[in-house]
Structure 1
Amino acid sequence: MHPLPDRATDLRAPVGDTRPQPPVTGQDAQMTVDVTPGGTVVVSGEIDRATASQLHQSLIAALHAHPEGVTLDLAAVTFCDCVGLRAFLAARHQHLDGGRCPLTLGPVSPRMTRLLQLTGTGELFAPPKTGPVRGRTGQRQ
């Protein structure tokens, strides 16, 4: 029986570091929050431990200014960790009104869509369902 040849010397080293890099956090993290006059909160960039408190404060201020409801535009969010998700959930919890949440989702980036799907939290920010109320037999009332 012959040992296998050592092929480690045949492998070439990668030109650059191809490993995924963690998101930038701290002072270098970039997130912006803008509230439109109509009550849409537009968030862009990275939502993480360094930016989540700013997001939470902005959401609370927007909800106070627009108690009828606020739409979240998350189309430009490039990253959101569990601390960022907690900022949305905490603002929602603080402003629940008889089971009705004044925070609803508008446009959402693919990364935020995936996070909301994986955590099952997207439905918490869904607009109220409208349409005919059905009884236990399925008939319109």
Structure 2
Amino acid sequence: MPLLIRPDDLTGEATRALVAAHLAGMLENTPVESMHALDADRLMADGITVWSAWVDDELAGIGACKDLGDHRAELKSMRVVSSFLGQGIGRAILRHIVEDAEERGIRSLWLETGSTDDFLAARRLYASEGFRECPAFPPYEPDPLSTFMTRDL
């Protein structure tokens, strides 16, 4: 399965639909006050890079990285299309983001994900790629529905 991961400007219908599906999925499992996913317009802000992963001409997933300054960055909006789950797409996107961050001189990556069982697969993926749990980092506040993780590069 050849996988192409490329920068995405979020103007395409497929990527915008996946971002919308990501938000809807987050709201199914997380109260709005504990949901930190960004919509497509906010993902287009300065300092955020979005990548899309494609198998042939079919969108398989997305991931983003937000520059936090001081050689730090945050993973955002990791999502794999349901028909591609279990095929290593999420891991490939994560590794791509890590490699890009290293090339840009980022020294640490940070993330916020859910703490409930609905997010167990995500937490396991991040842990298997060297992320460890940590306290909340700015701009987040501690939240029992959030798990915070970091990895030094």
* TM bin (shorter chain): 0.3 to 0.5
Higher strand share: 2
Superposition TM-score, scaled by structure 1 size: 0.37
The structure number with the bigger radius of gyration is: 1
Superposition TM-score, scaled by structure 2 size: 0.35
